[in-house]
Amino acid sequence: MADDARLDPLGRPFPAVQDLLRADPRPQPWQLNAASYHDIGLGGVPATQYTGQDALAAEYARLWPRVWQMACREDEIPEVGDHILYEIGDRSLIVVRSAADEIRALYNACLHRGRQLRDCPGRVAKFRCPFHGFTWALDGQLQETPTPWDFPHVTDGNFRLPEARVGRWGGFVFVNFDQAAPPLETYLEDIPSIFERWPMEARYTAAHVARPIACNWKLAVEAFVESFHVTDTHPQAASYIGDFNTQYDVWAGKRHYSRMISPRGIASPSMGEMTQDEILQSSEPNGESLRVPEGETARRAMADRRRAVLATVIGAEEAERVTDSEAIDTIQYWIFPNLVVWWGLAAPIVYRFRPLGNDPGLCLMEAYLLPLVPKDKPRPKPAKTTHLDIEQSWTDAKELGGLGAVFDQDVSNLWAVHKGLKSMRGGATTLARYQENRIRHFHDVLRGYLDRDA
């Protein structure tokens, strides 16, 4: 992850992120002292990749059966017998804690007549089919056959529930339907070492909200991996987020992740001249009385305020070592194909996106809030999932706080983008060379999966 001199090939507005990092007297972690612009060309994405039924069918056939995908957090299934249902397309898995330190992903179908074994998450001691009573242990071993005299061809050995593969990292449970796929540790590439400084397993589920969106799942991913849209979509934030100053990192040879660092405490270049007090005041609700200390910047003042809050969670000594960027910037990693995880301590946000059914214009967006477990305190119980209807506002999920209104602003674009792509002249999107290079990288990797057997 070495510096790349081509980071700023087109002369973006300054200060750039690396300049801001160098202005911080605290030692910078190696994870941030790295930037990479990987030139993938100037191509866009054909509109049919979002709107076409054939494109969705190809993804269900050649993408989702082969990739590692986050199914749940471990703290969602803390006790033996706890399970969730993970569904993608027509596939359904029971992700179950089958023993104290064992998690399995069992195909959710009775081997007798195919009835789903579970219709909802919960806790059970065994899986009994509601249709005729075939019963399996939590590890998938057959326990009971009704009228066994009539099933001489069924044995414990040949009637075990089939399983998908399970991998665990950072408190997340991943599943993969492909028994020949590389292990999760290989698939994640550098992600485990990058997150060693702020390990995701040291977090708990404070909120989990799911809502259908009337757009293709890839459009939803793309809306959350660039800050180019801040000025027009989130105008209330442009006065303290340097949207056009954002650093976008795509590394040559790294297929399954990319990154952006969007700096806070500076105004968007679109805002013109602003005083440091104005920037600080705009960063918080009811911040009219805030003032930047003499000789300081709004960015440093924002970081100091955040460090004061963090001291109550991680301790004063540890909080004092937190850099400005770790304290306030949007440092966000995308993990192929559909997981977005924030690094650092600015906000404990994780996103997940999935296609929903067989409509290419429908997807499921999920937002998690995963704050740090407070130092020297027991892990809080995970929050229950809130399910919103497609017509509901994100603000109906009160646990999201101010993020609900921000998500509503994002979603307001997405249905219109999907609809617009159906009538787009030229038939393909036109992407920025730098600010939307993560989108280009996403589709470059996706194309590799889809073309493998085409």
Q: Which domains does the chain have, with CATH numbers?
A: 17-52+190-451 (3.90.380.10), 69-185 (2.102.10.10)
Phi-psi region of 427 (alpha: psi -120 to 50; beta: other; left: phi over 0): left
DSSP-derived 3-state class of residue 34: coil
Maximum separation of any 2 CA atoms in the chain, in Å: 87
Q: pTM (2 decimals)?
A: 0.95
Q: How many angstroms separate the CA atoms of 43 and 80, rounded?
A: 49
Q: pLDDT tens track of the chain, all 454 residues? A: 334 434 455 566 667 899 999 999 999 999 998 788 899 999 999 999 999 999 999 999 999 999 999 999 999 999 999 999 999 999 999 999 999 999 999 999 999 999 999 999 999 999 999 999 999 999 999 999 999 999 999 998 899 999 999 999 999 999 999 999 999 999 999 999 999 999 999 999 999 999 999 999 999 999 999 999 999 999 999 999 999 999 999 999 999 999 999 999 999 999 989 999 999 999 999 999 999 999 999 999 999 999 999 999 999 999 999 999 999 999 999 999 999 999 999 999 999 999 999 999 999 999 999 999 999 999 999 999 999 999 999 999 999 999 999 999 999 999 999 999 999 877 899 999 999 999 999 999 999 999 986 5
DSSP 296-348: --HHHHHHHHHHHHHHHHH-HHHHHT--HHHHHSEEEEEETTTEEEEESSS--
**Contact (CB, 8 A) for 136 and 142:** yes
Q: How many angstroms separate the CA atoms of 104 and 106, rounded?
A: 6
Q: How many angstroms separate the CA atoms of 416 and 395, rounded?
A: 20
